[in-house]
């Protein structure tokens, strides 16, 4: 199925490059925006599957635009920028972004990321994943209210493993269950906690104290796609 995409970048040449790149994939660019305000209006009007959002946008920055978009429509946002810094990563995830990639990403990885996010997964570039799960809660922020009682013992165990960086296949192997069962537990936990995706589940697990920073040593092997749902 064709994935609809909105391109949000203040440079027309960059948008043209992405448009040309995505034409070779199962993606349809349904709109473009040169400012954050335009991106919000276009997302609400066009309701694309995925918005590729630059961070440094005029009128309204990409983080604020992302926050407005995810609170208004079901479109998922991938932050695509040259600035891979902690503050940008953390702010983007708190705003509701489902992915964070740098503009140095390989074309095939970008296409894979768009397909993954459109299907409901959450994705971070490998270079930022470990930093996110180990340092996110060290930032000054209000702690999430732990509604741990709503989860079964097995769901809680699965959430803990997700926060440690394990994929569904890794969780299945660790708990001696099928990957489908592992995915079902993740889906149920997301529903009970009213969370949007796997990234938010990781954030919740750390903020609720289920996993402490530095515990993710048993995380995913190098080369495995991070935060795979």
DSSP string, 8-56: E-S-HHHHHHHHHHHTTTTEEEEEEESSHHHHHHHHHHH--SEEEE-SS
Number of Cα atoms under 13 Å in the Cβ half of residue 152: 9
Q: State which CATH number among 1.10.10.60, 3.30.390.30, 3.60.150.10, 1.10.10.10 fits the domain covering 136-218.
A: 1.10.10.10
Q: Write out the two tokens for 227.
A: 């935060």
- Delimit the CATH 3.40.50.2300 region(s) of the chain: 3-120
CB 27 within 8 A of CB 5: yes
Q: What is the DSSP annotation of 189-205?
A: HHHHHT-SSHHHHHHHH
Per-residue pLDDT of the chain (229 residues; tens, 9 = 90+): 789 999 999 999 989 988 988 887 778 999 999 999 999 999 999 999 999 999 889 999 999 999 999 999 999 999 887 765 556 777 777 788 888 887 777 888 888 888 888 877 766 554 555 556 555 555 555 455 556 778 999 999 999 888 777 778 889 999 999 999 998 999 999 999 888 777 778 778 877 877 765 554 444 433 334 444 4
- Delimit the CATH 1.10.10.10 region(s) of the chain: 136-218
How high is the pLDDT of residue 156? 92
* Packed helices 86-95 and 198-207: angle between N→C axes, nearest 10 degrees: 110
Instruction: Report how far apart the first and last C-alpha atoms of the chain are (Å, whole number).
Output: 19
Q: How far, in Å, CA of 42 to CA of 69, rounded? A: 10
Exposure string of 133-165, with b = 16+ CB inside 10 Å and e = fewer, is: bbebbeeeeeebeeeeeebeeebbbbbebbbbb
CATH class of the domain whose range is 3-120? alpha beta
How high is the pLDDT of residue 145? 54
9: Cα separation from own chain's centroid: 19
How high is the pLDDT of residue 228? 43
How high is the pLDDT of residue 124? 58
Q: How far, in Å, CA of 64 to CA of 57, rounded? A: 10
Q: Write out the two tokens for 144.
A: 């999430």
How high is the pLDDT of residue 221? 35
Residue of 98, 103, 11, 106 lying closest to 49 (CA atoms)? 98
Tokens 């709109």 correspond to what residue?
Answer: 31
Helix (H, G, I), strand (E, B), or coil: what is residue 151?
coil
Question: For the whole model, what pTM was predicted?
Answer: 0.68
* Packed helices 168-175 and 153-163: angle between N→C axes, nearest 10 degrees: 130
Pairing of strands 76-81, 3-8: unpaired
């Amino acid at each position: 199925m064709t994935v609809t995409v909105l391109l949000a970048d203040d440079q027309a040449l960059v948008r043209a490059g992405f448009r040309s790149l995505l034409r070779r994939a199962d993606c349809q660019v349904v709109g473009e925006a040169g400012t954050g305000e335009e991106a919000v209006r276009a997302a609400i009007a066009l309701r694309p599957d995925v918005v590729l959002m630059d961070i440094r946008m005029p009128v309204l920055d990409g983080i604020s635009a992302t926050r407005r978009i995810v609170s208004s429509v079901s479109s998922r946002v991938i932050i695509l920028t040259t600035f891979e810094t902690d503050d940008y990563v953390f702010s983007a995830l708190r705003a509701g972004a489902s992915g964070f990639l740098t503009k140095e990403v390989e074309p095939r990885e970008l296409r894979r990321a768009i397909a993954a996010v459109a299907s409901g997964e959450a994705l971070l570039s490998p270079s930022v994943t470990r930093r996110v799960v180990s340092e996110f809660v060290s930032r000054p922020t209000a702690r999430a209210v732990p509604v741990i009682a709503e989860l079964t013992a097995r769901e809680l165990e699965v959430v803990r493993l997700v926060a440690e960086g394990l994929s569904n296949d890794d969780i299945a192997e660790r708990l001696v269950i099928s990957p489908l069962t592992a995915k079902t537990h993740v889906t149920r936990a997301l529903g009970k906690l009213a969370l949007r995706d796997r990234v938010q589940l990781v954030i919740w697990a750390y903020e609720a104290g289920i996993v402490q920073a530095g515990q993710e040593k048993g995380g995913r092997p190098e080369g495995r796609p991070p935060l795979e749902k």
